[in-house]
Chain A
């Protein structure tokens, strides 16, 4: 007989969970495992709301297990470390991103690509080594293997650091892997949301020239002003698309809605690279001519490994790169989800867990 979430593990925990495909979240009592010898336990102070959380609470990827406690941009302060933990101590500022386990022995794990390990264990909604389902960061405490804990540098405020752990690494990794990180290059960023605005900030810090590509003309002012993009392209405007043909070395496409690839491929120079980090559900049309004429490529990328995540956080700290956030109380989360659906946020909600998540008696 399966145990209740409250009784599964040793330590009581409290959070908010979705119970069904409506995706509506509500208070939820559960439990976390005792801190193992390699584990780090921390009090959660903030958790970012990722668009993936929204997909998952509504079971849009058909993989959700209810009750589901989302949240994989989790930051806080260490409260306990296991006896074999070397890198962290009580009081340290730490975070956990999208993953909490991997096999540690496959080719990908050995190459610091845990995010591509076939036995990857996601931070929430996944089966852990002990068979229990993982619960994410919309909760008061978190415990994770030291390998998957990230140190947050002192000069980064914790609330703003949270979205780095998913949005940040998701765009940083492909900028590096696909070589779109040099000052002589010009890239486009499609979509100006959580991922898009981080892509602009990282690219600018790397010295890359950036054009924001969006369907909404009202984003132009923000893109050029606050975010520092070099130019703005309204993708519904055929004349602007034509004028920008063959001008970009690469494009980071953060849009997860269905959208045509051909106009984007047309913006690329010879050897240009279109990188998709948003995940449309259905296949997109790919005209072969558009790839052959100009030796272009379309590639994907999914978060990043732990080593690269640490590198990204250090880079953000060094260049003072902070996500633009709207801090909300826990009980605003359902409203936030609705606003997120309409992209009504600049540019990431972050739940003030430490101050507003109150356990019901």
Chain B
């Protein structure tokens, strides 16, 4: 909508000629200027500038829907990809939601890619088995996709399907793996994604992992420059997921706390000293910073402590903060406790990795 051309908006011809003469071709160019700048640039008086802005705004503004219409639309088209982990599905009100960005974050080796493999399989399955019967695009930046492991998960979870002749090949044939080697390649494939998603009935998009893309380009960068490579792709990813109503699952890495990490506002005074010292020893934090944390819709934290691994629903508009203990088996991830443990307070955002390091045992 931002790139809508002014000469197609139905403005009076004299006005649209003036716009194109000054090289203001799209709505984005026109609306980024204050009214007085526009008046000066186009050499028209203020009333005309105002009415031009009003017409351009009306043409660029997306149509509205009522909350009721939104709900009915969701009911009709289904809204979730069931993960087949009952506790998690109940917590997320059905599963991974369509049209939103779900983030999996956790230390390395904890099971994020295993979870992604299972999700890819689930989306490819026919609807009678609870799948979405569609294609899956798997963007693999760390070369973690193992088709052998995926078939193993399939045979473990759905033995009756996978024993059927040729079905394994058909399922695996629906999963498209791409391995971009730079951010620009990633951005290019995203641009083409919009059409691909609609034309080829893609039902799930997985990016494993997005933090790796950023770390290639900028190893020593500060937080602010680490944001810039992903800026354009982030909102694009969100918008394509919404327009095509597909779930987008993104994996993120962790980094250790640095003394620059803050949790307090100016008005909260100097309490941060005591809490920071105990945190920095055993706590990790998600990579990509706070701007990324705001941008994702659902955040699932994978962590390990007290001898178990947990999946925590840390950020979600419709769920309460709960943690589920899990194990990784041959058939993928299985929850040990379907009810989940309620986690109070800001604990839900902590990422711990105790007992993971064999060298310290």
Q: Do A and B bind each other?
A: no
